[in-house]
Structure 1
Amino acid sequence: MLVYATDGDLSAWMDFPAPEGAASLLRHASARVANACRCDIYDTQPNGRPVDDDLDDALRDATCAQAEQWILLKVDPAAGAGGFDVQVTSSSIDGSSLSTTAATVDAARAEALDGLCELSVSILRAAGLASSLVRSS
């Protein structure tokens, strides 16, 4: 399986060190990027990477953008929704109530498990890739 970015690429993208487990995130993100580009036609090197440096850079950057989103949202794509911590969204007692934004965060995390983030799609499309990717937004 092609992995389009390294821990070093991810660190440079985020401007801070890649976290532990970054290799797994990059493998999963690369698989999503490859899936989005599966119908695109371009020349490749023997290792499967694009001959065109701009396309190779786009694949790397889209992979890093996806991994960054998972890191910031604390999503483990290998664990899926089962990896999410249970969060209390509201509580009430004796006429008092407290609500949190946990439901909004949970929705964003669940969405991050499905497909590519908007930035990754934008990067790929700007490079002429992800031509067959269908998004409903």
Structure 2
Amino acid sequence: MAARVYATSADYILWSGQAAPAAVDRLLAQASRDVEDALLTAYYCTDADGMPTEPDVIEALRDATCAQVEYQQETGDTGTGAAGRWDSVSLGPVSMSGRKDAPAGPQGLDLAPRADRALRRAGLVPGVIR
């Protein structure tokens, strides 16, 4: 099954009011995976490709994906989760200090606060199996 991507570059431009960043398609694909990781216990209807079918869920996943890209652009994160984790790093002979806050998102994910709110408003997190 192909990876699911919940927003397009046009969605990002409309949502953020900003020009799309370089490699926006790759960033949206990464952000969609981050959003999926936050939804491991979510219950919602999907089509045969695993894409949501309910308009409010489609909107929430689109908005959360756009928010995740925006958050990573603002924090300088490349999607690896490494940005902003240390306030001092040396390479020889290795020294890291001042670990900053750990991710506060669901399941320990570094999920953008606006992405988390979009998913919560749609009732997708915390996931509840009915």
Q: Do both share a fold (TM > 0.5)?
A: yes
**1:10-21 counterparts in 2 under 5 A?**
10-21=12-23
Instruction: Give the corresponding residue for 2:123.
Output: 128
Contiguous gaps of at least 5 residues in structure 1: 89-105
User: What letter is aligned with 1:39?
Assistant: T
**1:47-62 counterparts in 2 under 5 A?**
47-62=49-64
Contiguous gaps of at least 5 residues in structure 2: 89-98
Instruction: Give the corresponding residue for 1:68.
Output: 70
Q: How many residues of Structure 1 are paired with residues of Structure 2 in the alignment?
A: 114
| Stretches (4+) displaced over 6 A | none
**Pair 1:29-2:31 in alignment:** yes
CA contact (8 A) 2:64 2:115 kept: yes
Task: Indicate the RMSD between aligned Cα atoms, in angstroms.
Answer: 2.9
Q: Distance in 1 between the 2:43 and 2:72 partners?
A: 28
Return 67-76 or 57-66, whichever deviates more. Answer: 67-76
CA contact (8 A) 2:103 2:111 kept: no
The CA deviation at 1:17 is 1.4
Q: Distance in 1 between the 2:15 and 2:75 partners?
A: 16
State TM-score, norm by structure 1: 0.69
Q: 2:114 aligns with which of 109, 112, 119?
A: 119
Percent identity over the alignment is: 35
Secondary structure of 1:47's counterpart equals coil
Q: Distance in 2 between the 1:22 and 1:9 partners?
A: 11
CA contact (8 A) 2:16 2:70 kept: yes
